[in-house]
């Protein structure tokens, strides 16, 4: 009997509610969690994803998630989800993420990225579920004072509503933890996730013309776009172009399992981790790495700097390595190959 109770407790512990489960990072995390034996309840409103992602997750993992279509701002729906399922932890990926869009639509961004979290937190509190992993971003560091960036580096100085929305939510979570030490909260600050699942079945599908570097490079390689504009070659960096910490999305997804294990182990706490590789690559290095990995040409032109860009941003992720026993293992070549594989697949389907 005691054994059954124990198994029951373990199973109960394993049901995780994933918001934004059909998005880029959410879908890869679902695959890794299913693979590790977790059960998933997912929510998405398809504002930036497609229902076919659910088929991709099923094909890769051979498992299904219990899916709800709807909005995280819909408190009644969240109540229903928490009433109908034994949820023990939440991973919150649902948000709008376009920096450019956020400048022209600040109200929509603050509602979707901040109000929705408040709705979620209030329902979690009502149901006494106090375990949360939140997707934040390296953008909260603004223009970094030094690189590599540690979790102790100064935050703030964000230059757009998207970045500020992440900063606000981090503050809300800190205030919440201060008010009630029963919470277990893990804030992950992602650096630049790129790549796709090795199967080519799920990946990053930006709406329209991509704003980020890797999807743009991939679409130049498949000839859907003519050439890449390199935004500035006069930064104080190794070759004058911007330097970032690109991390394979599957490595990022795997960190969430480590995060879940950590929260299951701890009695309470608020933990913040940078998730990057610790390596900075320039735009030109990325172009050449992509060309070498995939044996394709990526035509480019040097153009003016993009407003709001910083010269250099890469992570010190040693805290995650030490405390979560997590480290990115996939290489830049893997990132380039998997990104191209997915883009080719998507183009042909």
Helix/strand/coil for 93: coil
Residue 25 touches ligand NAD, criterion: CB under 6 A: yes
- Our CB check for ligand UD1 shows the closer of 131 and 282 to be 282
Nearest residue to 67 via CA among 27, 121, 14, 99 = 27
Chain contacts with ligand UD1 (rule: CB under 6 A): 97, 99, 137, 139, 163, 192, 211-213, 216, 228-231, 242, 244, 283, 306, 308-309
- Our CB check for ligand NAD shows the closer of 47 and 159 to be 47
| CB 319, min distance to ligand UD1, A | 20
Alpha helices by DSSP H, listed for 85-196, are 99-104, 106-110, 116-126, 161-179
Residue 93 touches ligand NAD, criterion: CB under 6 A: yes
Residue 20 touches ligand NAD, criterion: CB under 6 A: yes
| CB 33, min distance to ligand NAD, A | 14
Residue for token pair 């992950």: 188
Alpha helices by DSSP H, listed for the chain, are 2-13, 24-35, 52-61, 75-84, 99-104, 106-110, 116-126, 161-179, 213-221, 249-265, 283-294, 318-324, 332-348
**Residue of 162, 177, 235, 246 with catalytic role:** 162
| CB 211, min distance to ligand UD1, A | 6
> Are the CB atoms for 244 and 322 separated by under 8 Å?
no
Q: Which of residues 190-249 bind ligand NAD (CB under 6 A)?
A: 190, 193
Q: Exactly one of 14, 99, 110, 112 binds ligand NAD (CB under 6 A); which one?
A: 112
Burial class (CB in 10 A: 0-12, 13-18, 19+), 128: exposed
- Our CB check for ligand UD1 shows the closer of 112 and 139 to be 139
- Closest residue to ligand UD1: CB criterion: 242
User: For the chain, how long is the longest CA-to-CA vector?
Assistant: 69
- Give which of ligand UD1, ligand NAD, none residue 341 binds (C-beta under 5 to 8 Å, depending on kind): none
Q: Let me know if 190 is a catalytic residue.
A: no
| CB 307, min distance to ligand UD1, A | 9
Q: What are phi and psi of 315, to 5 degrees?
A: -95, 150
Residue 159 and residue 335: Cα distance in Å, rounded?
Answer: 28
**From 45-53, 278-286, 320-328, 331-339, span contacting ligand NAD (CB under 6 A):** 45-53
Residue 64 and residue 193: Cα distance in Å, rounded?
Answer: 25
Q: Exactly one of 14, 17, 18, 22 binds ligand NAD (CB under 6 A); which one?
A: 22
Q: How far is CA 308 from CA 143, 169, 231, in A?
A: 9, 21, 11
CA atoms within 13 A on the CB side of 326: 25
Residue 88 touches ligand NAD, criterion: CB under 6 A: no
| CB 276, min distance to ligand NAD, A | 11
> Are the CB atoms for 49 and 73 separated by under 8 Å?
no
- Give which of ligand UD1, ligand NAD, none residue 23 binds (C-beta under 5 to 8 Å, depending on kind): ligand NAD
- Give which of ligand NAD, ligand UD1, none residue 48 binds (C-beta under 5 to 8 Å, depending on kind): ligand NAD
- Our CB check for ligand NAD shows the closer of 91 and 230 to be 91
Q: Which residues are catalytic?
A: 162
Q: Contact positions toward ligand NAD, by CB under 6 A?
A: 19-20, 22-26, 43-49, 71-73, 93-95, 97, 112, 116, 135, 137, 190, 193
């Amino acid at each position: 009997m005691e054994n059954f109770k124990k198994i029951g407790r373990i199973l109960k512990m394993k049901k995780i509610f994933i918001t934004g489960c059909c998005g880029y990072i959410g879908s890869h995390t679902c695959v890794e969690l299913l693979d590790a034996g977790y059960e998933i309840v997912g929510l998405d409103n398809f504002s930036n994803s497609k229902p076919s992602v659910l088929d991709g997750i099923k094909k890769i993992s051979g498992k299904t998630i219990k899916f709800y279509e709807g909005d995280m701002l819909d408190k009644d729906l969240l109540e229903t989800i928490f009433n109908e399922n034994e949820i023990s932890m939440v991973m919150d990926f649902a948000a709008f993420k376009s920096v450019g869009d956020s400048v022209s639509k600040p109200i929509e961004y603050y509602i979707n990225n901040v109000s929705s979290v408040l709705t979620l937190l209030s329902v979690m509190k009502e149901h006494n579920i106090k375990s949360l992993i939140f997707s934040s971003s390296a953008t909260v560091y603004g223009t970094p004072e030094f690189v590599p960036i540690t979790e102790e580096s100064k935050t703030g100085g964000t230059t757009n509503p998207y970045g500020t929305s992440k900063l606000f939510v981090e503050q809300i979570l800190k205030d919440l933890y201060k008010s009630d030490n029963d919470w277990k909260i893990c804030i992950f600050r992602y650096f630049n996730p790129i790549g796709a699942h090795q199967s080519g079945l799920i990946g990053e599908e930006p709406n329209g013309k991509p704003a980020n570097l890797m999807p743009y490079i991939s679409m130049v390689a498949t000839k859907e776009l003519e050439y890449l504009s390199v935004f500035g070659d006069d930064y104080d960096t190794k070759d004058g172009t911007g330097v970032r910490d690109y991390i394979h999305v599957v490595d990022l997804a795997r960190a969430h399992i480590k995060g879940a294990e950590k929260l299951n182990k701890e009695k309470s706490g608020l933990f913040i981790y940078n998730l990057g590789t610790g390596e900075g690559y320039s735009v030109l290095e990325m172009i050449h790495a992509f060309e070498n990995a995939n044996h394709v040409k990526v035509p480019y032109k040097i153009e003016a700097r993009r407003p709001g860009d910083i010269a250099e941003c890469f992570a010190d992720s040693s805290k995650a390595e030490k405390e979560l026993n997590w480290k990115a293992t996939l290489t830049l070549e893997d990132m380039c190959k998997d990104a191209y594989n997915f883009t080719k697949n998507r183009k042909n389907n």
